[in-house]
Structures are given as structure tokens and as C-alpha cells.
């Protein structure tokens, strides 16, 4: 029964994506660990971490597409869930430093010693255990999303008003986490991580392990999202997106369906943030920035909203371009990003994956305009 549920959403696009992920899960570890450093096929630890970061963003884009593409909720605050998951993992990594910190305090992180804190805050307890941190990675964003969605959806806040509120949410969290007395490192955030599950976090083998974990998480997230969309629940979500008032008049409690998708999406974003932190080595309040959420929207739009595979492609392509152009043309990158969003909105409303469908729709219309029916020759 459960196996059938997860397999029902797998189509041709899913097969291609999962195959690519499987190839990456094998090829990247081999190129990073099984080739000589001077080999042209060798991947450095920096490159492996960069690829892992791209896939973390892909999982974030996938989570956003679940609510934007299939429920019609344009979230401008998904960075909040991503960053909360990152902080949960960062707290675990900080607790693993122990006495190896700058101040040599085995009980308090360095920033707390610097600020003259004498004891560990109650909300840090438990984060010295990986299993607890792994649970909090999903519970914290999930609870926030549930509480937010409960009030917003029951109040029937929709459209641009809901988008503005989600942006206000992540902006408020950013301001709160910038405060030193919050106990999360202030503007410096959490960094200087040493190990994860007893493994040196800077070692090449650990970097590869984190990359493979990210690939697996993305694959699971994609299969789960595909199953939800292809199920009867998914059909209701799509109906809510297209005509919520009609669905409500038919007797469905639409706020509950939206709340489910919204909470699930937040949990997926939290997992993406948790995998992101050990690979980049830092988490700070700037990740809450509304600009980060807007970038995620751009990834989804570029790849193709409502396709699941499209946002994964869009996130990888846009961030690869960002990595290249911020080094080659740092002054022009933000203009290029804004221009890309405008061009996609005007000329590729269905994104890259929708381009082929757009072309197929336009080609017959040209023949019809010319007055020559398909299959007949002109006189």
C-alpha cells in the first residue's frame, strides 16, 4: 500500500531526474576519492561542497514548488524554514566543538563565553545528540508553518496579501536572530564547526558523505512530492489552486488541505537547510533575508512552476550561473538575475520544462493562420 503510494507519481521526468541523481551519487564520490589530485577528472572538496550546496537549493526549490505550483500559494518567506533547519543543525555542530573552541569551554559555545553567559540556555539542551537535532530540523520549521498557516488559511488570507505576510515573517525572524541576547550568535551566527557524527567535517570523505546524503534527501523529497501530487489529495490541492471557492462550496475544508501542503513544504525546506550548513560551514541571520526567498521563487519560475523537476533544474542552473558570474562580472550579477526573472515571466511563463509544450502549441497555430490545414499541400 505504502509502496504503491510512493510509486504512483513516478513518470518519465521522475525517471530521468532519479537516474541523474543516481549517477551523481556514484560518479562524484569516485571522482573525489578515487582519482589522483592531478587528474583532470578529480573533484576537489570545494567543488563537492559546491555541488552539494546546489542540491540543497534544489530541495528548497522543490519544497516551494509544492505549495506555489500545486496549491497556488506564492511564499516569499520560505527562507525562514530553510534557515531554521540550518540553525537546528548548526546548534548540534556547535555542541560537538566542546573544549576545542577558542576559549576552551566544554559547556558553552565561544560566542556565549565572549558575551559572558554563565550557563547554556534551556533551548540548547538536547542538541548534543544528533537524533534530537535531526528531529528538530523538521519539527521547528513544521511547527512554525503549522501555526502560521492555521491562522492565515482559516482567516482566508490569499494572494498578494499572504505573500506579503510570509515575507514579513522571515524579515521579523532575521531581525530577531541578529540580536545577541537571542542566544544564536547574533550577526556572526554559528560557525567554526569541527565534526559531525564523530567525523572531521573538513575531510574529503566527510564532504563526499554529506553530498551523497543530500542526493538521497533530494530523491526522497522528489518521490514524496510526486506521490502527494499524483494522489487524490493532490487532485484536491490542484483544484484549490485553480478554483478554491468552488472546492469549498463542494464541501471540502480547503484550509486543511492547504495547511497540510504548507507544513510538509516547510519540513522539506528545513531538511534542505540542515544539509546546507555543514557543507558551507556557517549559518547566520542573513539567510533569513527576504532576498533569499525571492531567489528561490526565481529558481522555480526559471525551471517551470508546477513541474517538480523544473525547480530542481532551475535551482542548479541559476546557482551555477551565480557562482560563475559573481566571479566574472560581480557588478552585473544582480541586474542579470532581475533581468532573468523578467524575461522568464514574459517569454517563458511555464519555465524551461514548459518551453517544448509552448513550441508545440504555437506551431499548429501558425499553420492555421496561414490557411493550410495539416496534412494538405498548398495550391
CATH number of the domain to which 310 belongs: 1.10.3470
Q: Report the candidate in 68, 7, 124 with the shortest Cα–Cα distance to residue 310.
A: 68
Q: Is residue 371 part of a domain?
A: no
Count of structural domains, the chain? 1
Q: Is residue 369 part of a domain?
A: no
Q: Is residue 339 part of a domain?
A: yes
Q: Kindly list the distances between the CA atom of residue 374 and the CA atoms of 41, 362, 365, 379, in Å, as whole numbers in the listed order.
A: 50, 14, 10, 14
Say what the pLDDT of residue 325 is: 81
Say what the pLDDT of residue 379 is: 37
Say what the pLDDT of residue 374 is: 47
Q: Is residue 150 part of a domain?
A: yes
The structure's pTM equals 0.91
Rounded (5°) CA angle 135-137-142? 95
DSSP-assigned letters across all residues of 302-322: HH-TT-SHHHHHHHHHHHHHH
Q: Report the candidate in 298, 299, 279, 337 with the shortest Cα–Cα distance to residue 93.
A: 279
Ordered mean pLDDT values, 10 residues apiece, the chain (379 residues):
68 89 96 92 94 97 96 95 97 94 90 92 95 97 97 93 95 95 93 94 96 97 94 94 93 95 97 97 95 93 92 94 81 79 81 77 57 46
Number of Cβ within a 10 Å radius of residue 239: 16
| Paired residues of 29 in beta bridges | none
Say what the pLDDT of residue 364 is: 61
Cell of 175: 531581525
Number of Cβ within a 10 Å radius of residue 139: 16
| Paired residues of 200 in beta bridges | 195
Q: Which residue range forms the structural domain that includes residue 84?
A: 2-362
| Paired residues of 271 in beta bridges | none
Q: Is residue 321 part of a domain?
A: yes
- Quote the DSSP letter at residue 282: E
Q: Is residue 367 part of a domain?
A: no
Q: Are 241 and 32 in contact (CB under 8 A)?
A: no
Q: Is residue 373 part of a domain?
A: no
Say what the pLDDT of residue 9 is: 67
Say what the pLDDT of residue 324 is: 83
Burial 143-174 (b: 16+ CB within 10 A, else e): ebbeebbeebbeeeeeeeebbebbbebbbebb
Looking only at the bridges linking them, the beta strands covering 282-283 and 199-200 are unpaired
Q: Give the whole-angstrom CA distance, residue 135 versus residue 129.
A: 10
Q: Is residue 375 part of a domain?
A: no
Q: Are 348 and 298 in contact (CB under 8 A)?
A: no
Amino acid at each position: 500500500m505504502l509502496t504503491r503510494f510512493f510509486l504512483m507519481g513516478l513518470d518519465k521526468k521522475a525517471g530521468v531526474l532519479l537516474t541523474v541523481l543516481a549517477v551523481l551519487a556514484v560518479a562524484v564520490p569516485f571522482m573525489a576519492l578515487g582519482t589522483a589530485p592531478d587528474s583532470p577528472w578529480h573533484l576537489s572538496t570545494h567543488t563537492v561542497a559546491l555541488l552539494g550546496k546546489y542540491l540543497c537549493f534544489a530541495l528548497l526549490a522543490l519544497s516551494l514548488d509544492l505549495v506555489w505550483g500545486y496549491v497556488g500559494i506564492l511564499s516569499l518567506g520560505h527562507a525562514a524554514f530553510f534557515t531554521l533547519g540550518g540553525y537546528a543543525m548548526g546548534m548540534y555542530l556547535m555542541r560537538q566543538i566542546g573544549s576545542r573552541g577558542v576559549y576552551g569551554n566544554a559547556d558553552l559555545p565561544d560566542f556565549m563565553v565572549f558575551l559572558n553567559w554563565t550557563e547554556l540556555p534551556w533551548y540548547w539542551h538536547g542538541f548534543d545528540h544528533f537524533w534530537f537535532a535531526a528531529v528538530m530540523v523538521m519539527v521547528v520549521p513544521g511547527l512554525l508553518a503549522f501555526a502560521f498557516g492555521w491562522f492565515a488559511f482559516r482567516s482566508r488570507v490569499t494572494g498578494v496579501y499572504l505573500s506579503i505576510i510570509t515575507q514579513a515573517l522571515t524579515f521579523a525572524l532575521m531581525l530577531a536572530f541578529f540580536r545577541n541576547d537571542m542566544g544564536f550568535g547574533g550577526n556572526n551566527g554559528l560557525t567554526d564547526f569541527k565534526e559531525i557524527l564523530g567525523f572531521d567535517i573538513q575531510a574529503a570523505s566527510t564532504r563526499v558523505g554529506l553530498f551523497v546524503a543530500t542526493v538521497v534527501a533530494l530523491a526522497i523529497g522528489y518521490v514524496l512530492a510526486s506521490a502527494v501530487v499524483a494522489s487524490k489529495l493532490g487532485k484536491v490541492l490542484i483544484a484549490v489552486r485553480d478554483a478554491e471557492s468552488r472546492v469549498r462550496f463542494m464541501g471540502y475544508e480547503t484550509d486543511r488541505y492547504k495547511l497540510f501542503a504548507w507544513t510538509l513544504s516547510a519540513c522539506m525546506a528545513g531538511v534542505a537547510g540542515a544539509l546546507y550548513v555543514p557543507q558551507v560551514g556557517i549559518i547566520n541571520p542573513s539567510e533569513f533575508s527576504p532576498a533569499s526567498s525571492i531567489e528561490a521563487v526565481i529558481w522555480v519560475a526559471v525551471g517551470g512552476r508546477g513541474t517538480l523537476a523544473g525547480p530542481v533544474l532551475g535551482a542548479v542552473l541559476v546557482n551555477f550561473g551565480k557562482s560563475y558570474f559573481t566571479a566574472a562580472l560581480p557588478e552585473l550579477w544582480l541586474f542579470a538575475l532581475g533581468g532573468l526573472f523578467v524575461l522568464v515571466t514574459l517569454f517563458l511563463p511555464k519555465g524551461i520544462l514548459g518551453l517544448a509544450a509552448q513550441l508545440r502549441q504555437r506551431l499548429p497555430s501558425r499553420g492555421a493562420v496561414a490557411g493550410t490545414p495539416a496534412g494538405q499541400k498548398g495550391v
